[in-house]
Chain A
Amino acid sequence: MEIRSPQFKNNAREALVDENLQSALGKMRTGFTSKRAEARARLPEFDDLRDQARDIKDHTLAHLDLYYEAYEEKVTAAGGHVHWARTAGDARDIILQICQDENAKLVTKGKSMIAEEVALNDHLEEAGMEVAETDLGEYIIQLRQEPPSHIIAPAVHLTRSQVEKSFRKSHTHLADDRNLDEVSSLVNEARQVLRQKYIDADVGITGANFLIAETGTSIIVTNEGNGDLTQTLPRVHIVLTSLEKMVPTLEDVSTILRVLARSATGQEFSTYTTLSTGPRREDDPDGPEEYHVVVLDNGRSAMIGSEFQDMLRCIRCGACINHCPVYHAIGGHSYGWVYPGPMGSVLTPTLVGIDKAGHLPNASTFCGRCEAVCPMRIPLPKMMRHWREREFERHLTPKLSRTALGFWAFLAKRPALYHLSNSVLVRLLRVLAFGRGAIGSLPLASGWTRHRDLPAPERNTFQELWRSGGYE
């Protein structure tokens, strides 16, 4: 996927005045957060499970080479194949080769962020294959030739009527006067259009949420069932995954699954959690006859032992994105690549380079909500700070931000002073609001206030609220 992160500021500016986007985002600002909070409240052990999930992943990363050796042995014993890709290009080549060996004409795909990372679809299409995304959100954005804007809800930036327009434009074989007013009719239409694709496909490609070393298993977690039709019906199933997806045992994955859906959508459990091990067995009447796993590195092995290692615990639940005030304001496309929000601000620079993604770690208010909700307890703000410092050292930022950042870094290293200055600032901003709830214009911040009123801060800073237990 083309990297548009260097244009972050422009992207964000456009996003703020995009009415469709703002209307679509309005709905996600509260939905995900309240559902997660309810799921957490229903499970008293939730926070203790998060601690264990973190420890399991830390243990796995510390023994990653050994777990992969065990995993590979199991996959091979079950009749599957493990392929290794150092770069995005290598992963594309491996998959293309498997598809070509199969003479594939039609390839179906379940949702895979790694496939977005390596820009798989373009590569297969250039080789003359048809690629059909089957996750509803992915299908919609494929029709619109857009990248996903969220890691678990790829079309969250669109309104119902935008989806309707895209369906009318693409599904020209259906009657013009059909009624698509309801979400249900859109879902039904996609269901019908995609049915035949599952049946006709030569190869099905899915991602993997986890790999299990104990059994040589790959796991997908979905709600639609599209991933299962994608991987069960064609003759060949390819799993595209990345190095950090490993967990040791069924018990370990159970612990992590207990925090995944609850953090992501607030569900007790996702509708479908599928554990796949090798190809069709002798007495199996269905399932793929070939099972391939492509393990992508793409810079991850270099994160081991670095200050960014903790990021490899990420299970792509999206909670940090769902709770991010910056994401709520500008949506996912502004971040300019595959991974948006706080997790993207940390991950993107490690994967595409700080020179291309240096703006992203600045897209943060350091409110700390991402870390507070991350099921894997990843210190996202700390890692964004690492990037800011690195970027600062490389003098990549313009002079004004450098001065401001230098001042900020000075304060940030002195917590007492930082909190004091924030409290002072909060009070100052309230004065500027003249007792109203919002500030119409602010010196030096006209880029923000030109298009919107800056909400006057509540009486307390986030940190003050946090300490008094007013949040979470």
Chain B
Amino acid sequence: MNDVRNKSIAARSEIFSDLKRNLDIGDEKAREKRVRERLSNPPRNLIPERANIPHSEQIALFREQIEAVSATVEQVAAAADVPAALASFLRDNNLPSRLRLGSDEALNALPWNKTPNVDVQTGRAVPEDAVSLSRAFKAVAETGTLILLSGADNPTTLNFLPDTHIVVVSAKDVVGTYEEAWTHLRETQGKGSMPRALNMISGPSRTADVEQTIQLGAHGPRQQHIIIVDDL
């Protein structure tokens, strides 16, 4: 490894000195200040007007956008309604009644005992899992995009391994734009910090690699179902 590591260190200094030589550096202090400021206080660029609408319409826009890419969406009034909604989704789609979820507090606090036919298991996904349940950090209206954060609450494997991925999102977590999500992210994670993985997901997995024919379920989930909860 040492030889390779030394080479990497040498390459680094060569690349940096090439960059400094080829760049029109001018006032170095001013450059450093520009970079520092942009990183510590990221300015917002142009934001499309599309999602600049009342919150209820943002929810409708989110739905419309993600349904357009083959996800299914339902909206329930209360958290307590989720297990029953889930049970009927599983039944209607002839899916097994075993469900994998992480240690997300809100999801685990749901009244699962009211749907004894749904068997809930916690932990990361394993290859045998057919159905998983996650809670989204945010849902972005402008393009119908869920944002999920890695960790014990909602392990990343839940998003990719099972054939069916069900995502619960609180209505208050539907935002208009990516930028709004980043603002919330910095509030919860701390400035400049990220979870190990942040997944932005719009619909089930797809490919168009054979004759540009769109086909769902390439490697990730074949099916994505979203439950928006008014009161969670």
Return chain B residues, CB-CB under 8 Å to A224.
205-207, 209, 218-220
Contact: A271 with B201, CB < 8 Å? yes
- Of the candidates A28, A44, A281, the one whose C-beta lies within 8 Å of that of B151 is A281
Inter-chain contact A269/B200, CB cutoff 8 Å = yes
Given contacts A214-B39, A232-B160, A277-B194, contact A271 B69 (CB under 8 A): yes
- Minimum C-beta distance from A31 to chain B (A): 5
A428 to B194, CA, bound (A): 63
Per the 8 Å Cβ criterion, residues 6-21 of B in contact with A are 7-12, 14-16, 18-20
- CB contacts under 8 Å to B, within A230-268, are 232-233, 243, 248-252, 254-255, 257-258, 265, 267-268
Inter-chain contacts of A85 with B (CB < 8 A): 8, 11
Say which residue of B124, B155, B212 sits within 8 Å of A156 (CB atoms).
B212
Given A163-B210, A226-B218, residue A44 in contact with residue B49 (CB < 8 A): yes
Does B109 sit at the interface, judged by CB under 8 A? no
Contact of A65 among B23, B34, B215 (CB under 8 A): B23
B32 at interface, CB cutoff 8 A: yes
A284 near B: Cβ within 8 Å?
yes
User: Contact: B210 with A186, CB < 8 Å?
Assistant: yes
**A276 CB–B CB distance under 8 Å:** yes
A234 CA to B9 CA in the complex, in Å? 27
Report B108-149 residues with CB < 8 Å from chain A CB.
123-125, 127, 143-145
- Tell me the residues in window 201-221 of chain A with beta carbons closer than 8 Å to chain B beta carbons: 213-217
Let me know if A243 and B15 touch, CB within 8 A.
yes
The answer to whether A134 has its CB under 8 Å from any CB of chain B is yes
Contact of B192 among A49, A215, A243, A257 (CB under 8 A): A215
- With beta carbons under 8 angstroms apart, the residue of B178, B196, B199 that contacts A278 is B196
Residue B54 is within 8 A (CB to CB) of chain A in the complex: no
A136 to B219 alpha-carbon distance, docked (Å): 9
Measured CA separation A243–B213 after assembly (Å): 34
Q: Which parts of B42-79 form the interface with A (CB within 8 Å)?
A: 42-46, 48-50, 65, 68-69
Residues of A within 8 Å of B151, CB to CB, are 281, 283-284
A159 contact set on B, CB distance < 8 A: 211
B4 surroundings in chain A (CB, below 8 A): 93-94, 97
The reply to whether A285 and B102 contact each other, CB–CB distance below 8 Å, is yes
Nearest-Cβ distance from residue B178 to partner chain A, whole angstroms: 4
**In the complex, which residues of chain B have a beta carbon less than 8 angstroms from the beta carbon of A140?**
209-210
Nearest CB of chain A from residue B83's CB, rounded to whole Å = 23
User: Which residues on the B side are within 8 Å of A287 (C-beta)?
Assistant: 150, 156, 196-197
Do residues A265 and B23 form an inter-chain contact, with CB atoms below 8 A? no
Minimum CB–CB distance from B146 to chain A (whole Å) comes to: 10
Q: A248-B39, A251-B179 are in contact. Are A285 and B210 (CB under 8 A)?
A: no
Q: Please state if B218 and A187 are interface contacts (CB–CB under 8 Å).
A: yes
How would residues 34 to 48 of chain A score, 1 for a CB under 8 Å from any chain B CB and 0 otherwise?
Answer: 000000000111001
Given the interface contacts A67-B35, A223-B205, A223-B218, does A283 sit within 8 Å of B199 by beta carbon?
no
Interface string of A156-168 (1 = CB under 8 A from B): 1011100100000
- Report the separation of the CA atoms of residues A295 and B127 in the bound assembly, to the nearest whole angstrom: 33
Q: By the criterion CB–CB under 8 Å, are B65 and A268 in contact?
A: yes
Residues of A within 8 A of B44 (CB): 251
A274 to B14, CA, bound (A): 31
What A residues does B125 contact at CB under 8 A?
Answer: 286
Known contacts A90-B11, A254-B178, A254-B182; decide if A277 and B195 are in contact (CB<8 Å): yes
Total interface residues on B, CB under 8 Å, equals 84
Which of B159, B185, B192, B211: most chain A CB closer than 10 A?
Answer: B211
Residue B27, interface by CB 8 Å? no
- The 8 Å CB contact of B212, one of A28, A65, A269, A274, is A28
Chain A residue contacts of B15, Cβ below 8 A? 84, 86, 243, 295, 297, 301
Q: Name the A residues within 8 Å of B215 (CB-CB).
A: 183-184, 187
Complex Cα distance, B155 from A233, in Å, reads: 12
Q: Could you tell me the distance in whole angstroms from the C-beta of B202 to the nearest C-beta in chain A?
A: 5
Known: A187-B218, A274-B197. A45 touches B156 (CB 8 A): no
- Cβ of A425 < 8 Å from any Cβ of B? no
With both beta carbons as reference points, the residue of chain A lying nearest to B24 in the complex is identified as: A305
Selected contact of B208 from candidates A223, A275, A301, CB within 8 Å: A223
Q: Are B205 and A285 in contact (CB under 8 A)?
A: no
A82 to B199, CA, bound (A): 22
Evaluate whether A65 and B219 lie within 8 angstroms (CB atoms) in the complex, with A274-B198, A284-B152, A285-B124 already known: no
Q: Which of A112-120, A191-199, A326-334, A394-402 contacts B (4 or more CB under 8 A)?
A: A191-199
A318 at the interface (CB under 8 A from B): no
Contact A43 B48 (CB under 8 A): yes
Is A314 at the interface (CB under 8 A from chain B)? no
B176 within 8 A of A: no
- Inter-chain CA distance A66–B33, complex, in Å, is 10
CB of B196 within 8 A of CB of A284, answer: yes
CB contacts (< 8 Å) of B218 on chain A: these are 136, 187, 190-191, 223-226
A62-B24, A283-B152, A301-B19 known; 13 new pairs, CB 8 Å cut-off, are A74-B192, A86-B10, A86-B14, A153-B208, A225-B220, A228-B199, A249-B39, A255-B46, A272-B201, A278-B196, A287-B196, A297-B11, A301-B18
The 8 A-B pairs at the shortest CB distance, nearest first, are namely A225-B220, A224-B218, A249-B42, A305-B22, A137-B209, A269-B143, A301-B18, A273-B200
29 pairs, CB–CB < 8 Å, chain A vs chain B: A28-B212, A32-B212, A45-B48, A49-B46, A65-B16, A78-B196, A84-B9, A90-B8, A137-B209, A159-B211, A183-B215, A186-B210, A187-B207, A188-B217, A191-B217, A217-B194, A223-B205, A223-B218, A226-B218, A229-B219, A232-B197, A233-B157, A249-B39, A267-B69, A267-B202, A273-B199, A284-B196, A287-B196, A301-B18
